[in-house]
Amino acid sequence: MQRGIGVICLIVGVLLIVKGHDVATSVASQFKQIFVGAPVDKAMQLYLGGTCLGLFGLFLIFWKGK
């Protein structure tokens, strides 16, 4: 059961990172980055959330419980 949840978390984490990359490379975010000079907040949130969820999924997959 624990590994199944870990695999789901890992897959969702990877999907969030991919979605963050799509948001970061969109035309609207490139215009915002040109004029404001800061990366898009939504893309950064998706990157961080995906990374945390992916690491949590890996932890659940490889951690040996009692």
> In this predicted model, what pLDDT tens digit does every residue of 29-65 receive, in sequence order?
777 777 777 667 888 999 999 999 999 999 999 998 6
With a cut of 90, say whether residue 9 has pLDDT above it. yes
Instruction: Write out the two tokens for 3.
Output: 């590994």
> Helices (DSSP H) in 1-66: which residue ranges?
2-24, 27-36, 41-62
Rounded Cα distance between 27 and 42, Å, is: 14
What the block records as the tokens of 17 is 């990172």
The count of structural domains within the chain is: 1
Indicate if the pLDDT at residue 24 is higher than 90.
no
The model's pTM is 0.83
d(CA 42, CA 17): 11
Residue 18's domain spans which residues?
2-62
Task: Report the distance separating Cα 26 and Cα 16, nearest Å.
Answer: 15
Q: Over 80: is that where the pLDDT of 66 sits?
A: no
pLDDT band of residue 21 (cuts 50, 70, 90) is very high
